[in-house]
Amino acid sequence: MFYLLSKILYAMVAPVSLVVLFFLFYFISSQKKYLYVAFVLTVFFSNPFIAQKVMGWYETAPVAIPSNQHYDAIILLGGFTTTVEIDGKTRPVYSDGNDRMMQAIDLFTDGVSNCLIYSAGRDSVFNKYLPESILGKKYLVKSGIPDSCIWIESSSINTYENAKFTRALLEQRMPNWQKKKFLLLSSGFHLPRAVACFKKQGIQVDPYATDLRSIQSKFTLLNTLMPTYGGFEIWTFLLKEWIGQAVYRLKGYC
């Protein structure tokens, strides 16, 4: 129930939802103040400079792992793989958040760890397909990571459960896990909440930001003034995370 309510809340406060809501108010009441608010919100949320600048303040900064640094495990959080059925066969579909997996493969190949923990269940409570970590593990093995080096947690449907069920997995398979060092991989905008959840479970992690959304180029007319849907997308991620942080703190998850 909590999962469904959180998804509904995110949809209600999404930037596009707010703009549409004020347009509806205007059409129903004919009061121009609602039209003005909708216009201002559209200009604000569609501005890529503002969106990327705020994202840069919030998302976890990227870091370089020293060549002599070794972790007991890399923890990869899912949320970037969905599925589609084509001619009776289930096919994985990877979103732009798949940078998480690409970075995990690179880090494992570079010898940062000899263990990769992939935490991800189904992308929806109504999805009948295999959990994401089971599907994604096949790609990791094809990429050259030995099957024996990949541990999967396939029951979680949110960040809190990622941390909770990963702890259960560690308790089963890694003695003295409380004293181990872990590298937590997720999108930069997701890591503040994720790190807090894992530390709440007693898992000491270093964050490794992927899928970065903040400004990476010089300020130009195009990325400063030109409206883009990308601005709406970034604000959607930010609002979702801020609401998630607030709700998780109220629930005692982080």
CATH number at residue 123: 3.40.50.620
pLDDT over threshold 70, residue 7: no
Q: Is residue 81 a part of any domain in this protein? A: yes
Domain containing 161: what range? 73-210
Claim to verify: residue 180 and residue 239 sit in the same structural domain:
no
- The pLDDT value recorded for residue 215 is 67
Claim to verify: residue 104 and residue 134 sit in the same structural domain:
yes
Average confidence (pLDDT) over 114-140? 83
Residue 41 pLDDT grade (very low, low, confident, very high; cuts 50, 70, 90): very high
- The pLDDT value recorded for residue 6 is 65
Claim to verify: residue 127 and residue 172 sit in the same structural domain:
yes
210 vs 1 pLDDT, higher one: 210
- The pLDDT value recorded for residue 2 is 58
Q: Is residue 219 a part of any domain in this protein? A: no
Claim to verify: residue 25 and residue 49 sit in the same structural domain:
yes
Q: Is residue 68 a part of any domain in this protein? A: no
Give the chain's mean pLDDT.
89
pLDDT over threshold 60, residue 125: no
Claim to verify: residue 79 and residue 14 sit in the same structural domain:
no
Instruction: Check: pTM over 0.85? Answer yes or no.
Output: yes
- The pLDDT value recorded for residue 27 is 92
Q: Is residue 168 a part of any domain in this protein? A: yes
Number of separate domains in the chain: 2
pLDDT over threshold 60, residue 144: yes
Distances (CA, A) of 241 to 2, 3, 64: 16, 14, 25
pLDDT over threshold 90, residue 32: yes
Claim to verify: residue 80 and residue 117 sit in the same structural domain:
yes
Each residue of 198-238: pLDDT tens digit? Answer: 999 999 999 999 999 886 555 666 666 778 888 899 999 99
Claim to verify: residue 26 and residue 79 sit in the same structural domain:
no
Q: Is residue 184 a part of any domain in this protein? A: yes
Q: Is residue 107 a part of any domain in this protein? A: yes
Each residue of 148-174: pLDDT tens digit? Answer: 999 999 999 899 999 999 999 999 999
Q: How remote is the C-alpha of 159 from its chain's centroid? A: 9
Claim to verify: residue 125 and residue 11 sit in the same structural domain:
no
Alpha-carbon gap, residue 210 to 59, rounded angstroms: 10
- The pLDDT value recorded for residue 11 is 73
Q: Any residues with CB less than 8 A from the CB of 133 and at least 6 apart, and which?
A: 78, 118, 119, 120, 121, 152, 153, 154
What percent of the chain is modeled with pLDDT above 70? 90
Claim to verify: residue 157 and residue 36 sit in the same structural domain:
no
Claim to verify: residue 149 and residue 82 sit in the same structural domain:
yes
By mean pLDDT, which of 22-26, 123-127, 241-245, 248-252 is the weakest?
123-127
Claim to verify: residue 96 and residue 199 sit in the same structural domain:
yes
Each residue of 50-104: pLDDT tens digit? Answer: 898 899 999 999 999 998 899 999 999 998 887 777 877 777 788 878 899 999 9
Claim to verify: residue 105 and residue 155 sit in the same structural domain:
yes
- The pLDDT value recorded for residue 103 is 96
